[in-house]
């Protein structure tokens, strides 16, 4: 167990370093001189030189990288080139809405996926199974932006639900209403994968010895499925849902952009297209770190749940 | 730092909660727009998205009527100009206070201008103040604005949001965060919160009663205005159609027909609004330094078809550089010079020595007539492609290079291109001409490299004029000169429409700096 | 790709025996997908010859002409926002999108497959290679897209690089799993005792016996690569206008969804069908070849 966690941490470190390098690189490749940009349009040559010194742009690159890491550790991610706000502040604004959106999508998509998956596994080979699997493969194949476009056009356009951004936090009525369409959009691409995972996992468990024993004891098929099948199948499913946060993240960048949802993903896209490198760097950094932490957490929980993991490498 | 991070998050959540709590008795209006501003500091932001909110949060000494020509009292009840045009004396209202409750006096006016003049502030567009000698407060309600050189534009410039009077104490206290975390002005609405790229929330300024007489009301008619960023065109249009309390001037051309036809909504057009699209030439560049070539290019472009296609016919095709409704416009210009006439265009090019080669394009001394045009990606793309198609017909191979907005301004300051595409707002002929055609303003904003002594002299004359007639005469002379030199291809003059939801009264659109809601006093429920 | 991780361990030894192909031929969905893909790839390859007009020739007077509109006779699927023929743009868009997917999976997947083979063949390389793969796998694919677009700028080049990188790790894992099973086979031992060199063993024995499995997973990966590419283009980080690419066409056209829905819906639908076909075919191939899922 401890070894497993240590192992996961070991993997996370180079990933973190990689993320930091990308973040650092982003600040290096600015097409226009960062000192000139941050000095503003009315700056003189002397101003720019002063800022260059102040930003440490004259130092060797490895030292700059080291300093960059130190700054990041102190949560100093620099200032946005456009708004001149601290990047950390900007992320503070956007982190909440993104987490909210992911939560609201997971909360309905994961149970629905598990339900459909176990239904398919129980009726393995029947038309229900085939229908659910067909639906789920469609779910994996549909571009998330298409679902969003259709929802905006037909549900939003009919005046049924708001779609023009976040009207408040999740626990207020206005906030709740405004999150429905984005969460439906984002969650809908998640149901399919979860259903497929559950089905495969259930089929494996249902074929296991202890389930056969349970059946032999004369338990009803439903009880067997629920008590032995689902419960044991859920461990890998829950883990995989955690690991699929990356998949969800991909969808959330698109969903946020479409629904004017003020989250990290939309900020990242906006920062990249407007060449606001410090902000882009901060957004990518926070997305990667968030993803890493969730992965790590899920992994640790999994290791706790499943005793077999203890010794196996990865 | 961690604390600060957490604190920011908590404050955001609290602010968002405050926004969300449905105050049923409150009248809330949502204004939809496309992009956010960089900051709300009148002296440091030149974006329209900053301006339109600052007009509501603050006041200027002088206001502009809907005709874009008549000056109206603002924070100043009256003013006088000395015969030499050097000293302006403003008499201020005595009943004005900032949102914070602080009373506004002549000292605040002086402090506002001193901040803008201070090199430390790194303020932008200082030319909009004229060549200031000194701004002083004679008493609490009198301000003396002294110039080193006359500046006939001054009162018009003073209606621009850059001249918004701010509470200097707050600006000093907030430092770099002024206009980011807070703004204290005397306007009909007060700054409540700003979440970048999402929304800016304004609340009614209690006790405000000094709105300009151009409106029916002198105070705000709604309790809260939420400026919301919705970048997606389609989403914005659908939102306007479904939200009864939404307002927007950022309506795409393709949707205007439906929106105007929609009986639930009210759509108004600004009677006077000056925002023009043009292509400018670098007049000293080899390919376009011949006036005949420039005229030919002008004649090749079919403004009517282009405007119809790009703006669905909602913009006005241009045959002069400036909008005919603008102050000091010269109505005597020969408009025929700019219409579409490919035959004459071909003849002019032949005359200039550019002969058609076997590939259909024109050559001279082995050089191809393939001028490079720079522009900002976005709507200009369609315009550029349409122009490219028109020029191809007369044998000119226009090379289009578009850049993202952040990179583009740097690129447009170089000498790498032969022509460039742009659009700009202006308040008067002098405003536009002084900006673009002074020799001293090369390479930017005088990207044309138009260095002409006579032009400079005329511009000086216009600027220093102390009476309207001589100012107008000088600027008209400049217009004639530029018109005949074909330094631009005027494309079209943009319209400004304001659409309001079914629960709202129609909002008369104002044209000032393209900020259709201007002071926001026209926003009211039915 | 979603449940790839789950099946990683079960990427069995290749069995290109008859029953497998028979099973595939009897699966109507898979056959439909295969036929559809053949048609689509054919059309994409022949786009320059079969497209009725230049996909970049705009005619502003014909802009946003609806499908079968009287304004534009002869233009089967109408025109887009600058009056370009939708049929031609869809064909060229398909070509660009498929090229993107194929390039990414061929280069990224090829690199990943080689890594997997090496990891299985050389024990001492196993740990470092698989750690590297783990690191890559720890990045959500969209982040590669965002990061690369930020570093080298938006455009097709960045998109291809991002898609290549995202294809590496999962294919590497699959190929390692499959190769490990082959390593246990007797003929590998036999080959070694015959004194065959490493290169020969690697390519003639190991690679030759693992490629069918790798290929199947590449098919599944193709669908994902296309979907990711479309999403990035949609966000404005991929193909830039006027390039005809399905994702950016869908993005460009969405402004006019109300007045001309076909401009965005057609490319969207085509992306969906394309990815669906790759997924259905990939699933069927995997089921046919994977003994574990056969009941």
Residue predicted with more confidence, A48 or B247? B247
Chain B CB contacts of C63 below 8 Å: 309
Asked if C257 lies within 8 A of A153 by C-beta distance, the reply is yes
B: neighbours with 3+ CB pairs under 8 Å? A, C
Asked if C259 lies within 8 A of B255 by C-beta distance, the reply is yes
Chain A CB contacts of B9 below 8 Å: 92-93, 95-96
> Whole-angstrom Cα distance, residue A191 to residue A110?
6
Distance from CA of B258 to the nearest CA of A (A): 14
pLDDT at A209 over 90: no
pLDDT at C66 over 90: no
Chain A CB contacts of B2 below 8 Å: 75
Which CATH superfamily does the domain covering C78-294 fall into?
MetI-like (1.10.3720.10)
* Span between the terminal Cα atoms of chain C, in Å: 23
Asked if A253 lies within 8 A of C235 by C-beta distance, the reply is yes
Asked if A153 lies within 8 A of C258 by C-beta distance, the reply is yes
- Count of CB contacts below 8 A, B vs C? 38
Is B238 near chain C, with CB under 8 Å? yes
**pLDDT given for residue A6 in this prediction:** 80
Distance from CA of B110 to the nearest CA of A (A): 23
The chain-wide mean pLDDT, for chain C, equals 83
Chain A CB contacts of B235 below 8 Å: 152, 156, 163-164, 258-260
By Cβ distance, the residue of A142, A236, A291 closest to C140 is A291
> Whole-angstrom Cα distance, residue A269 to residue A262?
11
pLDDT at A28 over 80: no
With CA atoms as reference, the chain B residue closest to C60 would be B309
3-state secondary structure string across chain C:
CCCHHHHHHHCCCCCCCHHHHHHHHHCHHHHHHHHHHHHHHHHHHCHHHHCCCCCCCCCHHHCCCCCCCCCCCCCCCCECCCCCEHHHHHHHHHHHHHHHHHHHHHHHHHHHHHHHHHHHHCHHHHHHHHHHHHHHHCCCHHHHHHHHHHHHCCCHHHHHHHHHHHHHHHHHHHHHHHHHHHHCCHHHHHHHHCCCCHHHHHHHHHHHHHHHHHHHHHHHHHHHHHHHHHHHHHCCCCCCCCCCCHHHHHHHHHHHCCCCCHHHHHHHHHHHHHHHHHHHHHHHHHHHHCHHHCC
> In this structure, are residues B199 and B229 in contact, taking their beta carbons and an 8 Å threshold?
yes
B337: number of Cβ within 10 Å: 16
Is C241 near chain B, with CB under 8 Å? yes
pLDDT at C9 over 50: no
- Count Cα neighbours of B138 within 13 Å in the Cβ-side half-sphere: 12
By Cβ distance, the residue of B237, B252, B309 closest to C63 is B309
> In this structure, are residues C174 and C164 in contact, taking their beta carbons and an 8 Å threshold?
no
Q: Which residues contact C257 (CB under 8 A, 6 or more apart)?
A: A149, A153, B234, C264, C265
**pLDDT given for residue C168 in this prediction:** 93
Interface pTM, i.e. ipTM: 0.82
Tell me the pTM: 0.82
With CA atoms as reference, the chain C residue closest to B386 would be C60
Task: State mean pLDDT over A263-290.
Answer: 86
What are the structural domains of chain B? Answer: 1-34+188-272+496-526 (3.40.190.10), 59-167 (3.90.76.10), 275-493 (3.10.105.10)
Q: What is the pLDDT of residues C139-186, one digit of tens each?
A: 788 888 888 888 777 788 889 999 999 999 989 988 998 888 888 887
Distance from CA of B476 to the nearest CA of A (A): 31
- Chain mean position to CA A23: 18
Asked if C58 lies within 8 A of B385 by C-beta distance, the reply is yes
Q: Which residue carries 């400018």 as its tokens? A: B280
The partner residues of B90 in beta bridges, in order of sequence, read B79, B143
Asked if A156 lies within 8 A of B238 by C-beta distance, the reply is yes
- Count of CB contacts below 8 A, A vs C? 155
By Cβ distance, the residue of B12, B229, B238 closest to A157 is B238
Asked if B5 lies within 8 A of A92 by C-beta distance, the reply is yes
By Cβ distance, the residue of A22, A146, A196 closest to C147 is A22
By Cβ distance, the residue of C61, C64, C82 closest to B385 is C82
By Cβ distance, the residue of C3, C5, C142 closest to A249 is C142
Q: What is the pLDDT of residues A115-173, one digit of tens each?
A: 999 899 888 888 999 999 999 999 889 999 999 989 988 888 888 888 888 888 888 89
> In this structure, are residues C9 and C287 in contact, taking their beta carbons and an 8 Å threshold?
no
Q: Cα-flanking dihedrals φ and ψ of residue B242, to 5°? A: -110, -25
Asked if A200 lies within 8 A of C237 by C-beta distance, the reply is no
The chain-wide mean pLDDT, for chain A, equals 80
Q: Give contacts of C 57-116 with B, CB under 8 A.
A: 58, 60-61, 63-64, 81-83
Residue ranges of chain B whose pLDDT lies below 50:
1-3, 5-7, 10-11, 13-24
pLDDT at A247 over 70: yes
Chain C CB contacts of A157 below 8 Å: 258
Is B252 near chain C, with CB under 8 Å? yes
Asked if B309 lies within 8 A of C258 by C-beta distance, the reply is no
Is B256 near chain C, with CB under 8 Å? no
> Whole-angstrom Cα distance, residue C163 to residue C94?
17
Asked if A258 lies within 8 A of B236 by C-beta distance, the reply is no
Confidence of residue C19 (pLDDT cuts 50, 70, 90): low
Distance from CA of A219 to the nearest CA of C (A): 23
Distance from CA of B233 to the nearest CA of C (A): 6
By Cβ distance, the residue of C63, C83, C257 closest to B234 is C257
3-state secondary structure string across B67-134:
CCCCEEECCEEEEEECCCCCEEEEEECCCCECCCCCECCHHHHHHHHHHHHCHHHCCCCHHHHCCEEE
DSSP B202-239: EEE-TT-----TTSS-SS-SSSEEEEEE---HHHHHHH
By Cβ distance, the residue of C251, C269, C279 closest to A140 is C279
Q: What is the pLDDT of residues A214-237, one digit of tens each?
A: 777 777 777 777 666 666 767 777
Q: Token pair for residue B155?
A: 């009162």
- Chain mean position to CA C246: 14
Q: What is the pLDDT of residues B46-79, one digit of tens each?
A: 888 999 999 999 999 999 999 999 999 999 999 9
Q: Give contacts of A 29-58 with B, CB under 8 A.
A: 31-32, 40-43
**pLDDT given for residue B163 in this prediction:** 97
Percent of chain C with pLDDT over 90: 33
Is A277 near chain B, with CB under 8 Å? no
Chain C CB contacts of B256 below 8 Å: none
Q: Give contacts of B 278-337 with C, CB under 8 A.
A: 305-306, 308-310
Helix (H, G, I), strand (E, B) or coil at B321: coil
The residue among B336, B239, B328 whose CA lies nearest residue B34 is B239
Buried b (16+ CB within 10 A) or exposed e, C82-114: bbbbbbbbbbbbbbbbbebbbbbbebbbbbbbb
Asked if A75 lies within 8 A of B21 by C-beta distance, the reply is no
A69 burial (CB, 10 Å; 0-12 / 13-18 / 19+) is middle
Residue predicted with more confidence, A57 or A98? A98
Q: Which residue carries 């170089």 as its tokens? A: B414
Q: Cα-flanking dihedrals φ and ψ of residue B225, to 5°? A: -125, 125
Q: Cα-flanking dihedrals φ and ψ of residue B525, to 5°? A: -80, 155
Chain C CB contacts of B376 below 8 Å: none
**pLDDT given for residue A39 in this prediction:** 56
pLDDT at C290 over 80: no
- Residue to substitute from C142, C155, C277, interface A, most A β-carbons within 10 A: C142
- Chain mean position to CA A284: 12
* Cα→Cα distances B82→B461, C9, C234, C268, Å: 17, 90, 60, 67
Distance from CA of C256 to the nearest CA of B (A): 7
Residue predicted with more confidence, B501 or C25? B501
Domain ranges of chain C: 78-294
pLDDT at A198 over 60: yes
pLDDT at C229 over 70: yes
- Chain mean position to CA B266: 24
Distance from CA of B214 to the nearest CA of C (A): 36
pLDDT at C277 over 50: yes
By Cβ distance, the residue of C58, C61, C258 closest to B234 is C258
Distance from CA of C150 to the nearest CA of A (A): 5
Chain B CB contacts of A156 below 8 Å: 235, 238-239, 242
Chain A CB contacts of C141 below 8 Å: 246, 250
C: neighbours with 3+ CB pairs under 8 Å? A, B
């Amino acid at each position: 167990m401890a070894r497993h966690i240590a192992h996961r941490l070991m993997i996370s470190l180079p990933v973190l370093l990689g993320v930091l390098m990308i973040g650092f690189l982003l600040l290096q490749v600015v097409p226009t001189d960062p000192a000139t940009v941050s000095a503003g349009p009315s700056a003189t040559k002397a101003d720019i030189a002063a800022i260059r010194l102040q930003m440490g742009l004259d130092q060797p690159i490895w030292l700059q990288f080291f300093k960059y890491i130190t700054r990041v550790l102190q949560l100093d991610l620099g200032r946005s080139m456009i708004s001149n706000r601290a990047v950390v502040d900007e992320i503070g604004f956007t982190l909440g809405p993104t987490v909210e959106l992911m939560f609201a999508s997971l909360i309905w998509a994961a149970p629905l996926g598990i339900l459909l998956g176990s239904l398919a596994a129980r009726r393995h080979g029947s038309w229900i199974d085939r229908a659910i699997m067909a639906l789920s493969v469609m779910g994996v194949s549909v571009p998330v932006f298409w679902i969003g476009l259709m929802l905006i056009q037909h549900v939003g356009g009919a005046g049924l639900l708001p779609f023009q951004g976040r009207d408040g936090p999740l626990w207020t009525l206005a906030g709740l209403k405004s999150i429905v369409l984005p969460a439906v959009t984002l969650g809908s691409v998640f149901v399919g994968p979860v259903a497929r995972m559950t089905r495969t996992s259930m089929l494996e468990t249902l074929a296991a010895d202890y389930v056969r024993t349970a059946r032999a004891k004369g338990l009803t098929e439903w009880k067997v499925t629920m008590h032995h099948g689902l419960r044991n199948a859920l461990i890998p499913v829950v883990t995989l849902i955690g690991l699929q946060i990356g998949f969800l993240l991909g969808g959330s960048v698109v969903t946020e952009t479409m629904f004017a949802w003020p989250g990290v993903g939309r900020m990242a896209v906006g920062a990249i297209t407007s060449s606001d490198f410090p902000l882009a760097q901060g957004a990518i950094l926070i997305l990667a770190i968030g993803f890493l932490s969730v992965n790590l957490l899920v992994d640790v929980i999994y290791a706790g749940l499943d005793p077999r993991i203890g010794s196996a490498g990865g | 730092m961690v604390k600060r991070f957490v604190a920011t998050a908590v404050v955001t959540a609290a602010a968002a909660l405050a926004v969300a709590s449905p105050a049923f008795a409150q009248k809330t209006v949502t204004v939809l727009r496309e992009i956010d501003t960089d900051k709300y500091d009148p002296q440091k932001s030149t974006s329209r998205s900053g301006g339109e909110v600052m007009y509501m949060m603050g006041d200027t000494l002088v206001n502009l009527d809907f005709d874009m020509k008549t000056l109206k009292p603002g924070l100043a009840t009256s003013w006088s100009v000395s015969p030499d045009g050097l000293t302006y004396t403003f008499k201020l209202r005595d009943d004005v206070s900032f949102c914070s409750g602080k009373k506004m006096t002549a000292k605040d006016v002086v402090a506002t201008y001193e901040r803008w003049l201070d090199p430390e502030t790194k303020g932008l567009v200082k030319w909009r103040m004229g060549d200031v000698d000194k701004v002083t407060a004679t008493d609490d309600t009198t301000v003396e604005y002294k110039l080193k050189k006359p500046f006939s534009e001054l009162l018009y410039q003073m209606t621009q949001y850059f001249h918004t009077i701010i509470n200097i104490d707050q600006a000093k206290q907030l430092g770099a965060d002024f206009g980011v975390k807070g703004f204290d002005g005397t306007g009909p609405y007060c700054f409540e919160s700003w979440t970048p790229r999402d929304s800016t929330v304004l609340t009614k300024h209690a006790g405000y009663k000094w709105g300009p007489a151009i409106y029916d009301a002198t105070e705000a008619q709604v309790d809260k205005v939420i400026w919301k960023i919705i970048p997606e065109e389609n989403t914005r249009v659908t939102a306007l159609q479904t939200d009864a309390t939404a307002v927007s001037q950022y309506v795409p051309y393709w949707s205007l027909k439906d929106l105007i036809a929609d009986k639930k909504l009210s759509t108004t057009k600004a009677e006077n609004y000056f925002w023009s699209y043009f292509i400018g030439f670098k007049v000293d560049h080899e390919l376009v330094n011949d006036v005949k070539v420039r005229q030919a290019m002008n004649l090749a472009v079919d403004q009517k078809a282009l405007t119809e296609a790009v703006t669905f016919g909602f913009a006005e095709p241009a045959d002069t550089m400036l909008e005919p409704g603008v102050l000091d416009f010269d109505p005597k210009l020969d408009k025929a010079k700019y219409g579409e006439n490919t035959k004459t265009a071909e003849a002019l090019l032949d005359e200039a020595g550019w002969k058609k080669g076997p590939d259909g394009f024109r050559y001279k001394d082995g050089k191809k007539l393939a001028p490079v045009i720079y522009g900002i990606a976005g709507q200009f793309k369609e315009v550029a492609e349409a122009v490219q198609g028109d020029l191809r017909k007369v044998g000119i191979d226009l090379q289009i290079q578009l850049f993202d907005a952040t990179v583009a301004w740097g690129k447009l300051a170089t000498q790498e291109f032969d022509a460039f595409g742009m659009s700009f707002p202006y308040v008067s002929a002098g405003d536009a001409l002084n900006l673009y055609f002074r020799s001293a303003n090369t390479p930017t904003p005088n990207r044309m490299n138009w260095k002409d002594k006579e032009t400079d002299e005329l511009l000086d004359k216009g600027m220093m004029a102390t009476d309207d007639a001589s100012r107008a005469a000088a600027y008209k002379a400049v217009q004639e000169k530029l018109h005949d030199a074909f330094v631009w291809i005027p494309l079209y003059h943009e319209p400004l429409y304001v659409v309001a939801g079914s629960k709202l009264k129609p909002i008369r659109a104002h044209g000032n700096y393209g900020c259709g809601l201007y002071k926001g006093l026209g926003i009211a429920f039915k | 790709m979603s449940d790839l991780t789950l099946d990683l361990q079960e990427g069995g030894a290749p069995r290109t025996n008859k029953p497998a192909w028979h099973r595939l031929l009897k699966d109507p969905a898979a056959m439909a997908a295969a036929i559809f893909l053949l048609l689509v790839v054919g059309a994409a390859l022949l786009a320059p010859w079969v497209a009725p007009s230049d996909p970049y020739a705009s005619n502003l007077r014909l802009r946003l002409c609806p499908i079968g509109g009287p304004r534009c006779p002869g233009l089967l699927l109408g025109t887009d926002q600058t009056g370009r023929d939708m049929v031609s743009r869809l064909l060229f868009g398909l070509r660009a999108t498929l090229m993107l997917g194929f390039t990414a999976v061929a280069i990224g997947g090829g690199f990943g497959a080689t890594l997997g083979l090496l990891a299985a063949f050389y024990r001492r390389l196993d740990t470092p290679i698989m750690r590297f793969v783990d690191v890559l796998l720890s990045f959500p694919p969209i982040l590669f897209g965002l990061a690369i677009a930020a570093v080298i700028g938006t455009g097709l080049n960045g998109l291809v690089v991002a898609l290549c990188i995202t294809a590496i790790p999962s294919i590497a894992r699959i190929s390692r799993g499959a190769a490990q099973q082959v390593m246990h086979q007797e003929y590998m031992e036999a080959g070694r005792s015959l004194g065959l060199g490493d290169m020969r063993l690697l390519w003639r024995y190991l690679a030759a016996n693992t490629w069918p499995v790798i290929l199947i997973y590449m098919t599944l990966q193709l669908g994902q690569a296309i979907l990711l590419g479309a999403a990035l283009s949609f966000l404005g980080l991929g193909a830039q206008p006027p390039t005809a690419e399905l994702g950016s066409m869908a993005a460009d056209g969405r402004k006019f969804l109300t007045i001309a829905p076909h401009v965005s819906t057609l490319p969207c639908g085509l992306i969906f069908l394309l990815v669906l076909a790759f997924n259905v075919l990939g699933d069927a191939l995997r089921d046919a070849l994977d003994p574990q899922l056969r009941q």
